[in-house]
Amino acid sequence: MLQTISSVTAEKAEKYQDMLGKHFARKVSVETNTHQSVVYFPMGTCRISSEGSKLHFQCEAETADALAAIQSIIDRHIPLLKAIRDTQLVWTETP
């Protein structure tokens, strides 16, 4: 399983995590609790979590192409979040 992570500082990190979870739930399955939303895309998953003023993304997929597709989806949705709309996520591979 391939995995990448990224994070961004956002004063409303918990609110944004909740907003993104609800947004994605319109199209795909999402499990949400207070500090995490797990989004089940057809090509893999993305865990969106909040901790204080940090919004974290952890994406997993079987192939590099699938992982890139998930990252692209997340990257396209960041501009929808007003306070961090100009932020570019930097994705880091994890072992």
pLDDT tens by residue, 25-77 = 999 999 998 889 999 999 999 999 999 999 999 999 999 999 999 999 999 99
CB atoms < 10 A from the CB of 24, how many? Answer: 22
Q: Using alpha carbons only, how large is the chain's radius of gyration in Å? A: 12
Asked whether the predicted pLDDT for residue 83 surpasses 80, the reply is no
Query: Regarding predicted confidence, which is higher, 68 or 78?
Result: 68
Contacts of 32 (CB under 8 A, 6+ apart): 18, 21, 22, 25, 38
Looking at residue 61, what is its pLDDT? 98
Q: Dihedral angle at the C-alpha atoms of 36, 16, 76, 79, nearest 10 degrees?
A: -160
CA 17, CA 7: separation in Å to the nearest integer?
A: 12
**pTM beyond cutoff 0.75:** yes
Report the topology of domain 2-93: TATA-Binding Protein (3.30.310)
